[in-house]
Amino acid sequence: MNGFDLDGLVVYDSRYLADWPAETYQIPAANASLVARRQVLEEMRKQVTYGAFGQVKDVSVSSAGLIVEYFKLVLLPLWIGRYREADEEREYTVVVNGQTGGVTGERPARGLRRLWSWLMGEE
């Protein structure tokens, strides 16, 4: 879920979580570092391939010289909820960005969307 203003980060203070539940890391730091490295490499490839001189072909970009100097673990405000329609067994997940109020989530298929899901074997 994107959309957080990371320029406004401040140093962690345990009072931010006073009486609020918080989840611990789901990805070990070593794995998170690999994911971040992959994202940086993809961005580098885009910048080299579609540079200031237009599209370039047959360019190889390697992560061999890529050095990750540091990484930060951040505490982000978000709420995760689940709901179920009265006539359905499936649960739907909704995530609310606590900084912007943006909502992302799943919703039950209705009408043509439900027909399409059925035709594609998703339901």
Q: 103-121, pLDDT tens digit by residue? A: 888 877 666 666 666 676 7
The pLDDT of residue 122: 66
Confidence of residue 1 (pLDDT cuts 50, 70, 90): very low
Same domain for 89 and 39: no
The secondary structure of the chain in percent helix, strand, coil, rounded to multiples of 5, reads: 30, 15, 55
Answer whether residue 13 is part of any domain.
yes
Per the structure, the count of domains in the chain is 2
Whether 95 and 2 have beta carbons less than 8 Å apart is answered as no
Phi-psi region of 110 (alpha: psi -120 to 50; beta: other; left: phi over 0): beta
Same domain for 67 and 14: yes
pTM assigned to the model = 0.49
